[in-house]
Amino acid sequence: MTQTPPLLPFPLTICGIDELPRHAGAGISHVVTILDPEWPDPEHFALYPPHARTIWRFHDIVNPQDGQIHATARDVEAILEYGAGLKADVVEHLLIHCHMGISRSTATAIILMAQDNPGREAEAFAHLAAIRPFSWPNSRMVRMADDMLERNGALVDAMRLHHHGIARLHPDKMPYLRASERGSEVPPEE
């Protein structure tokens, strides 16, 4: 019986800014930081041993808004290029963070997990739910990745199922999402 290879060949941690100090001793070798364009760089990385860090800056929005910078196709291409580059590097442990560790960071994690694993989109979302129980990946980023990776909607469909599961597990958080621009992503109350 052949064992299915892991989605990523290294440990993955996802968190928000406030959680960064608790991961300083976790053997992190690579960090992806995703921040709002005007947000100051977190000082928490002074606690970390030497690591390779990549920073992207765009707002956590899924539709264009005045005064906000959304993720673009170039940003998703950069994520895919980063994932390809990780294959040539020695990665002990990857940490991906955004402000809250809910949307941009989880979308980035999904993109990296799905990149070389066609047909395993649902598995990627199951792994995401296991390592980050409350996650709501940025759907704009996931849709663009679905197109770029030629998944014909499989990544988007897996995201919708993920949203349904998160809504069932965290009904207390759905009113906030319903009132936001993400309202259309929230499944109807059962």
pLDDT of 169 above 90 = yes
The distance of Cα 139 from the centroid of its chain, to the nearest Å, equals: 10
- Indicate whether 44 belongs to any domain: yes
- Indicate whether 153 belongs to any domain: yes
- Indicate whether 4 belongs to any domain: no
Backbone dihedral angles phi then psi of residue 41, each to the nearest 5 degrees = -65, 130
For 108-148, write each residue's pLDDT tens digit.
999 999 999 999 999 999 999 999 999 999 999 999 999 99
Nearest alpha carbon to residue 43 among 106, 92, 35: 35
pLDDT band at 8 (very low <50, low <70, confident <90, very high): very high
- Indicate whether 190 belongs to any domain: no
Tell me the residue length of the chain. Answer: 190
User: Which residues touch 69 (CB under 8 Å, ≥6 apart)?
Assistant: 37, 57, 58, 59
- DSSP three-state, residue 15: strand
- Indicate whether 5 belongs to any domain: no
| Residue 59, domain CATH | 3.90.190.10
When divided into structural domains, the chain yields a total of 1
For 28-87, write each residue's pLDDT tens digit.
999 999 999 999 999 999 999 999 999 999 999 999 999 999 999 999 999 999 999 999
- Indicate whether 6 belongs to any domain: no
- Indicate whether 2 belongs to any domain: no
How many H-runs (helices) and E-runs (strands) does the chain carry? 6, 4
Q: Distance between CA 85 and CA 83 in Å, rounded?
A: 5
Backbone dihedral angles phi then psi of residue 53, each to the nearest 5 degrees = -125, 135
Q: What is the radius of gyration, based on Cα positions, of the chain?
A: 16
pLDDT band at 88 (very low <50, low <70, confident <90, very high): very high
The pTM of this model reads 0.95
Which range of residues forms the domain containing residue 144? 12-185
- Indicate whether 102 belongs to any domain: yes
Q: What is the pLDDT of residue 190?
A: 64
Say if CB 93 and CB 29 are below 8 A apart.
yes
Q: What is the pLDDT of residue 184?
A: 87
